[in-house]
Amino acid sequence: MYNLLKGKRGIIFGALDHNSIAWKVAERAKEEGATFVLTNAPIAMRFGEINELAEKTGSQIIPADATSMEDLENLVTKSVEILGGKLDFVLHSIGMSINVRKGNHYTNQNYDFTHKGFDVSALSFHKVMQVLYKQQAMNEWGSIVALSYMAAQRVFPDYNDMADNKAYLESVARSFGYFFGRDFKVRVNTISQSPTPTTAGSGVKGFSNFLEYAEKMSPLGNATALECADYTISMFSDLTRKVTLQNLLHDGGFSNMGISDAIVNDYMNK
């Protein structure tokens, strides 16, 4: 613990259960001295695990469907009230594809599902930022982070329409990040994380093979959820004030690899 977030206030979206990346971020943020509000979709509250996290971190929970402007406006207004001042950090850790869930192939999408998945996984990031921007809810030198995946740049066939959602998410970080930087000195970035065994991650077809492949390809191995939380904390801290408009790869080196000895050995021994 380094007291990196001492006195800082924030909102953390997307802690569903112990495996969630947002769950680990909340635990680490607490350890680093932050106070924050936890939020998730009203339907996710039914599982109830978030109450445990709220108790552990001394946080309040405000349910909000990240596709609803009304919910988001209420969330931001109330968070500033509860925390006693403007925000220093916001984590968008939200993803869901109905096409993936229903097993619809990329070439055979149900576009109602595509729209819904886009709204939840991608447009919600714009909506969150628009509400923060209009309410002028961020402190100077604050930091906004969303979580992404490398399928935004490269083809991973089973990632399906989520690949397109992540491409939009990363683009919005740059486009909105410009206005946040110019007007409020707030930075906006995405962190592109290794495959991680969570509810959202495991929904992708063939996830365990894929996890193993990435592990063998990456010189440092896959980044865990806790390591992603550590990186996120550094992005919320004052040590990264001039990093903005970036898609930051947190993947053990996977993205710059062509082939590794481990993968070649596996192939030869087939």
Ligand X SMILES: NC(=O)c1ccc[n+]([C@@H]2O[C@H](COP(=O)([O-])OP(=O)(O)OC[C@H]3O[C@@H](n4cnc5c(N)ncnc54)[C@H](O)[C@@H]3O)[C@@H](O)[C@H]2O)c1
Sign of CA dihedral 173, 170, 201, 125: positive
Strand (E) or helix (H) holding 156:
none
Main-chain phi, psi angles of 77, to 5 degrees: -60, -50
Rounded distance between C-alpha atoms, residue 69 and residue 12, angstroms: 17
Q: In the bound complex, what is the minimum distance in angstroms from residue 215's beta carbon to ligand X?
A: 12
The whole-angstrom separation of Cα 21 and Cα 236 is 15
Q: How far apart are CA 87 and CA 79, in angstroms?
A: 8
For residues 147 and 76, what is the distance between their CA atoms, to the nearest angstrom?
20
Count of residues that interact with ligand X, criterion CB under 6 A: 27
Tell me which of 195, 213, 233, 254 binds ligand X, using CB under 6 A: 195
According to CB under 6 A, which one of 4, 34, 37, 44 is a site residue for ligand X? 44
Residues between 3 and 32 that touch ligand X (CB under 6 A): 13-14, 16, 20-22
Question: By CB under 6 A, is residue 199 in contact with ligand X?
Answer: yes
Q: Give the pair of three-digit tokens for residue 27.
A: 């635990």
CA distance 22 to 196: 12
Which residue, 148 or 244, has its beta carbon nearer to ligand X?
A: 148
Counting every residue written for the chain, the total comes to: 270
Nearer to ligand X, 124 or 244 (CB): 124
Q: Interacting stretch for ligand X, rule CB under 6 A, among 128-136, 170-178, 181-189, 190-198?
A: 190-198
Mark the segment that binds ligand X (CB under 6 A) among 132-140, 174-182, 196-204, 236-244: 196-204
Distances in whole angstroms, Cα of residue 181 to Cα of each of 84, 138, 166: 23, 11, 22
What is the per-residue binding string for ligand X in 61-80, x denoting contact by CB under 6 A? Answer: ----xxx-------------
From the list 8, 25, 29, 40, which residue makes contact with ligand X (rule: CB under 6 A)? 40
Least distance in Å: CB of 149 to ligand X?
4
- Considering only residues 225 through 264, tell me which ones interact with ligand X, judged by CB under 6 A: none
